[in-house]
Amino acid sequence: MKEVYTFQCGCKFPILEEREPLPLLDFDIRKVRKDCPAVWEMLGKGFTKGVFQLESRLGKTWCQKLKPDNLEHLTALGALLRPGCLQCKDENGISTTEHYCLRKNGEEDVDVFHPSIEEILRPTYGVMCYQEQAMKIAEIVAGFNLQDADVLRKSIGKKLPEEMAKVKIMFLEGVEKTKIITKKEGETLFSQIEKSQRYSFNKSHAYCYAIDGYWSAYCKAHFPVEFFTEYLSSAKEKQKPREEIKYLVAELKAMDLEIFGPQLLDWEDDFWTDGYKIHYGLGNIKNVGKTQINKIFSMRETCKAAGLPIDKMTWFQFLVLITDKVASNSMQNIISTGALSHFGISRTKMLAEYNIWKDLKPQEQEFIRANCAPLNDLVPALERCAPIKSCGGGCSRQTRTQALISAANSLKNSPTSMDDKPNWIVSIEKNLLGTPITFTKIDSCDVSDSNITCKDFLAGKGGGGLFFAVEVEVVKPIKTKKGDAMAFLTVTDSSSASMEMVVFPDVWTACSSLLTDGNTLLVEAYRDKKKNGCIVKNVYQL
């Protein structure tokens, strides 16, 4: 037996028990290395769902921009994602947060303002991120003692104008005394402190958050299947469980993990994993609650005891023997979500047969159960049951005979195809499972003109001349400073990854009628190298 398991990233853990796909490992999250490249790679791709402090859209977007690769970056990000730094913009409209990202990635020169405070600002590329930095700077350039510096921190934090005015005078007087920087530089520096510190964090606080974020990201990067299964299970406790499931599923697919819909034969109540793939539980289907699950479970046991286990049944046997044990809306949803796919019959056909079966009179159902087992198909069974009782059938009135014959005919000569259409499956799964699992809306579109997927774009592929075949998830119209209308789109595609696109005013004016939630589009776009965003040039209906 091997004693140590080594991940691709080089992380090693003692093995407690050999098993597939991952052995049971012995580890204490507080003792894992703090520099695992797999964690930084995952965060840089924006896979932040479930990562403490970074799971919002804001966290995702800025992780993609920053591409943190050490704990210092993660700590700074926690502070930089506060409203103060995001809103504090320079004369070119670049926020403090953005400056930090640009400098970290070598796209802008680092400016430490003055050599005397270089040591304080160098670790954050010249950007003032933390309260501790402001206090330390005041100590050096204005000779503040710890007490003065604390007054500075408090008065800025609490935004007390009178206190502020006093501290400013104190600061400038100090600057004149120490003569390390000029009075003018002192004024500039003070206004910078004032702006950046308005909502700022202290570093120790930000570091604690970063560690929690790192640990959750570490679990996700090394045990992604288990991580997502756990998060999907706890989605029901969130404010918007279906939204949560949608985002989790989109991200796990974008991370090349697989998720499967519920199955009657191989199931648990809740999301579960076999260690390779993630599966819905039967209880994750809309309207299939604990009561119905208990009924399914007890009928499984009954069938097994009676010598006809559910996995050996045909669809016809299941239909006539089992389906009426479960509430009809639950059964319809179990069929529609593909949980009975092991019968090898389309969901549409099973649903049509089930709807006919459940509307039969109890004595008709009884007749079919007693007399039609060898027929093993609903159509001949209905025909066998259709005559009235005196003629050897199971119906009590002529009108019922007519009803059964026409039901049998509707199945034999259905006006519409009994094949499952991808679009129907998409809408059913969206409604009953929270998100489409089997197909995406794009799968039923002609995508031959597209040349890139969202997933590939997020992985850094493609520059100009890009064509995406996407479904619009969210349109967020905004106004520019000049008052022109533009928008941010959130789109998804056949890769199931979800990404943001920017629609500037000229394109918005021309195309806004096509940019609606749920529409499927061919989007012509290019990568904005500097901000690493996707800019829309034109859109066409798919």
- State the nearest-atom distance from the C-beta of 25 to Zn ion, in Å: 12
11 binds Zn ion (CB under 5 A): yes
Q: Is 36 or 437 the residue whose CB approaches Zn ion more closely?
A: 36
CB 27 → Zn ion: shortest distance, Å?
11
Residue 36 in contact with Zn ion, rule: CB under 5 A? yes
Are the C-beta atoms of residues 515 and 507 closer than 8 Å to each other?
no
CA distances (Å), origin 43, targets 7, 52, 63: 18, 12, 6
What sign does the CA torsion over 179, 185, 187, 193 have? negative
Answer yes or no whether residue 25 interacts with Zn ion by CB under 5 A: no
- Residue 231 C-beta: closest distance to Zn ion, Å: 20
Nearer to Zn ion by C-beta: 44 or 505? Answer: 44
Q: Of 2-10, 56-64, 288-296, 472-480, which segment contacts Zn ion by CB under 5 A?
A: 2-10
Q: Please report, for residues 154, 285, 428, 496, the alpha-carbon distance to residue 433 in angstroms, rounded to integers and kept in the order given.
A: 50, 6, 8, 15
Task: State the nearest-atom distance from the C-beta of 218 to Zn ion, in Å.
Answer: 7
Only one residue has tokens 């600002």, namely 121
Closest to Zn ion by CB, 71 or 140: 71
List the beta strands (DSSP E) in 150-281: 259-260, 272-273, 278-279
CA distance 433 to 443: 18
Give the range of 11-19, 21-29, 476-484, 521-529 binding Zn ion by CB under 5 A.
Answer: 11-19
Nearest 5°: the CA angle 129, 131, 137 is 90
- 194 token code pair: 């004032």
Site string for Zn ion, 116-145 (x = CB under 5 A): ------------------------------
Of the two residues 36 and 442, which places its CB atom closer to Zn ion in the complex?
36
Spatial contact of 487 and 520, defined as CB atoms under 8 Å apart: no
Q: Which stretch binds Zn ion (CB under 5 A): 36-44, 54-62, 183-191, 389-397?
A: 36-44
Pick between residue 36 and residue 539 the one whose CB is nearest to Zn ion. Answer: 36
Binding test (CB under 5 A) with Zn ion, winner from 16, 18, 34, 38 = 38
- As measured in angstroms, the least distance from the Cβ of 497 to Zn ion is 23
Q: Which is nearer to Zn ion, 185 or 212 (CB)?
A: 212
Phi-psi region of 307 (alpha: psi -120 to 50; beta: other; left: phi over 0): left
Q: Which of 2, 4, 6, 9 binds Zn ion (CB under 5 A)?
A: 9
Q: Across the strands, what pairs with 479?
A: 485
Rg over CA atoms, the chain: 31
In the bound complex, what is the minimum distance in angstroms from residue 221's beta carbon to Zn ion?
6
Residue (32 or 474) nearer to Zn ion, CB: 32
Residue 427: phi and psi, rounded to 5, are -70, -35
Which one-letter DSSP state was computed for residue 83? H
> Which residues here bind Zn ion, judged by CB under 5 A?
7, 9, 11, 36, 38
